[in-house]
Structure 1
């Protein structure tokens, strides 16, 4: 399609957008009485209007039924988490038995590493990407120390080539082969939080398995954003937060994937609790643990229903729309944003460098942009003008036009605000 940098063209794209109606299903903050242009769905998605209804249902049941709500609420609490399985499985490309919702992201990664990081002999090293999200760095380092190893020796980082912004798959595969039989685990973020680069998860998973390692993925920036086929790719495990592209609310519950080939492994190491116990016998309070024959065996505590209610509200929309439609709009709106940025770059005495891959297969919803020659004053200007984005040092802004609620006119309007901010920057210092 031949894009145009005009409001009329953007509005025409919105008229043709089959998902445009879902914009009205979300609540937008306002700046100076006007709805913001919201680019941080990669940090915290907007609140679905139905979230309040789902939470209110729980509160009403709690008030009217108290403890009996576990069994007699319309959405009974004791099996509330089971309502996620089929819908969430379609989002991440899994079987319903392979997914569950529990805890929060880093907690789940720690728990999953109990099962899938089992160093012994000379097989003890973990391969991850350089400058992974800090929580992953802390988590991996602490796991290595817990097992008695030195992180400087046991953690192998895949690095970018000098002068390049993104990782090369060939370099990842080369490093896996080089570490070889010393590799116990490959654990990488499926979408790099800084650049928005999508890793070739299928190829990397296969390479990890070829050297005898487990392979897991942190899908914080991937779930609800890109096409995932966790079962087909034979991924061992994965976890993701729900509050970014999946709009569940701040710090909310995490989703987990555990490949079905491990469900019947009776001696797999795992931290256990009563919610992973055979649900048909759970309330018999038996002393011996009998695991559920699904990913739910990894659950420990009963589900945090109030926290999960907004996630379920959002997931209903995912089920209604489907990932293919979301990805189709994502590709188009990100391409239009990319076009607008290049057009504005021509009009101002500045230099934008998009460090996210140009190849659609290697990116999702996010564009990370180096604003060469610009400083935090421009970021401040954008925020005060109602453009909610985020800043990463030294001078990068991350823009994530979530397809559920961002419009093409938003992309055009952002370009005009950005241009004005650059041309008048001497007035905002």
Structure 2
């Protein structure tokens, strides 16, 4: 059996973690800081647990330069849970804003306010989705399930410009954005399809007066790998299991103007009158923020691992995320360069301007039998200690997930294997 040092794991998630972080976590799991108890055994209500959460929040804010007017939440239910959480919370925020406007317009007559809100929900409530891959499609479908398709606007669908397949991002000028949408959602990096937004979309940028679209982004698979303009977003969420840590925790970075006292969530009674869904309390940003991520039992062990990854990143890169970005770009350049040098053997799935640095997707076309070619590629790669390269079951092919924990040497080893395979 191979040892850990002999394997470079390119799996899409759960992903590779730094060995020294795992070793430290293993010790903490048995006895945390000489307490005689493992970290998973300590109460999530303890001062010890609160300190782990607060340190992780502070280190994340430091690494990404998160402004003070944002709250960092540790949640559960993964990215799929956030598909629902964003709907519940952002629709609630929209209702609160409309309610505040209605109070100014018709006074504090509850019946008149409710009547006006019912008309606005029926005619104005929209959530916009930019569908550029499998995960944004799932988010869009979840919004339709929760709200009804009449309230969900498919602002763009990348399949319409790419022969019904994902692999490109439509021009911003073609996006059909709603007026005053409760949110505009997009997935910054599509793990399955290897599509990454090259930068923040210009059309979604905040205006000079501070107004503009309410932008929500899923960054589950490229967070911590490049600098992002946090101030342009109202919500950024990501599962820990790609670049941050192990499965079990999800992070939401939420602008505080979506939280009390500026924007308290509407009452369940009002939402029922409006015919809108009431979300589970464990998905309420307001509730999680109020309780410092400890409304219910949080996996402190998983937060601890995330915190140790952040401490390692901060210790490694004096320029924080910019340093990691340079390495991430270099690794992607090495792998893509090897693939591009042999177009007779490898077919890249994604159009060049939108190729993900994190999830490099390609097909092997060495002979007339792609299935056999890809099976041979995977078997030979495994023999070289290169594992986790099989593409997602929904699309097939090969996928190298080039997350932060993949060392530069790992990317070089894969590139060398790619060239060797092509030469056989």
- The alignment's TM-score, normalised by the length of structure 2, stands at 0.71
Report if the CA contact (8 A) 1:276-1:299 is conserved: no
C-alpha separation between the residues in 2 aligned to 1:60 and 1:256? 30
Matches within 5 A, 1:229-248: 229-231=229-231, 233=232, 235-246=233-244, 248=245
Confirm whether residue 391 of structure 1 aligns to residue 387 of structure 2: no
Quote the Cα distance in structure 2 between the aligned partners of 1:257 and 1:124. Answer: 24
Q: After superposition, what is the alpha-carbon deviation per residue over 1:162-208, rounded to whole angstroms, capped at 9, x for unaligned? A: 3586434524x53234xx23843321111122123225325243389
What's the counterpart of residue 16 of structure 1?
none
C-alpha displacement of 1:332: 1.8
Q: 2:157 corresponds to which residue?
A: 158
Residues 101, 256 of structure 1: 8 Å contact kept: yes
Q: CA deviation at 1:81?
A: 1.4
Determine the structure 2 residue equivalent to 1:76. 48
Distance 1:174-1:81 versus aligned 2 partners, 3 A rule: same
d(CA) in 2 for partners of 1:290 and 1:332? 38
1:308 maps to 2:307: no
What is the distance in 2 between the residues matched to 1:316 and 1:224?
12
Aligned-residue CA RMSD (Å): 4.1
CA distance in 2, matches of 1:196, 1:144: 23
**Residue 192 of structure 1 pairs with residue 190 of structure 2:** yes
Q: Which whole-Å CA distance do the structure 2 matches of 1:114 and 1:276 have between them?
A: 9
* 1:255 counterpart SS class: strand
2:25 to 54, 63, 67: 54
Q: 1:138-177 residue pairs with structure 2 within 5 A?
A: 138-147=138-147, 149-150=148-149, 154-160=153-159, 161-162=161-162, 166-168=167-169, 170-171=171-172, 173-177=173-177
Distance 1:152 1:258 in 2: 23
For residues 203-222 of structure 1, the C-alpha deviation after alignment (integer angstroms, 9 at most, x for no partner) is 24338999975320111112
Matched, 1:351 2:345: yes
2:8 paired with 1:37:
yes
Instruction: Tell me: CA distance 1:67–1:132, structure 2 relative to 1, closer, same or farther (3 Å).
Output: closer
Q: CA deviation at 1:71?
A: 9.5
Is 1:262 the counterpart of 2:263 in the alignment? no
What count of residue pairs does the alignment treat as equivalent? 365
1:325 to 316, 323, 326: 323
Deviation at 1:238, TM superposition (A): 1.6
Relative to structure 2, which stretch is displaced further, 214-223 or 37-46? Answer: 37-46
- 1:106-139 deviations in Å (ceiling 9; x for gaps): 22342232111357222344333436335x5445
Structure 1 gaps, min length 5 = 1-29, 278-288, 425-429
Q: Which residue of 2 aligns with 1:366?
A: 359
SS in 2 for 1:85: helix
Unaligned 5+ segments in structure 2 are 95-120, 267-278
Give the SS at the match of 2:122: coil
Note closer, same or farther for the CA distance 1:417–1:168 as it changes in structure 2 (3 Å cut): closer
Task: Supply the distance in 2 between the matched residues of 1:244 and 1:81 (Cα, whole angstroms).
Answer: 19
Alpha-carbon deviations, 1:65-109, whole Å to 9, x = none?
999955997x71134311112211234442355212221332234
Cα pair distance change 1:77/1:189, threshold 3 Å: same
1:113-152 counterparts in 2 under 5 A? 113-118=87-92, 120-130=121-131, 132-134=133-135, 137-147=137-147, 149-150=148-149
- Shifted more, 326-335 versus 204-213: the winner is 204-213
Comparing 410-419 and 64-73, the one that deviates more:
64-73
Residues 275, 302 of structure 1: 8 Å contact kept: no
- How far did residue 310 of structure 1 move? 1.4
Q: Determine if contact 2:328/2:357 at 8 Å carries over to the other structure.
A: yes
